[in-house]
Amino acid sequence: MDHWAQHKAHCKLIKAERKCLTAESGLKDPLSDLLKWMQYYDAVLKNCAVASFEMKQFHREHLEKTVFMVRLSHRRDPSLPIQDRFSVINVSTQCRESLPLTSHLYFDLRQRAKFVEIGKQEYGENYYGTGLYVVQAECGQDSLAIMEKFLSIDKHTANAKVLRKEWWLLFREYVKASSKLRFCCGRVGGVCCCGGWTHPTNETEKDFQATMRDLNSSG
Give pLDDT tens digits for 195-206.
Answer: 555 554 444 445
C-alpha torsion sign, points 8, 10, 11, 16 = positive
pLDDT tens digits for range 99-137: 766 555 455 666 788 889 999 999 999 999 999 999 999
Average pLDDT for 212-218? 46
Over 70: is that where the pLDDT of 53 sits?
Answer: yes
**Domain locations along the chain:** 3-181
Q: Give the pLDDT of residue 173.
A: 86
For 100-133, b where at least 16 C-beta lie within 10 A, e where not — what string? eeebebbeeeeebeebeeebeeebeeebbbbbbb
Q: How many helices (H) and strands (E) does the chain have?
A: 9, 6
Over 90: is that where the pLDDT of 208 sits?
Answer: no
State the pTM of this model. 0.76
Q: Give the pLDDT of residue 183.
A: 67
Low-confidence winner among 84-98, 159-173, 191-205 (lowest mean pLDDT): 191-205
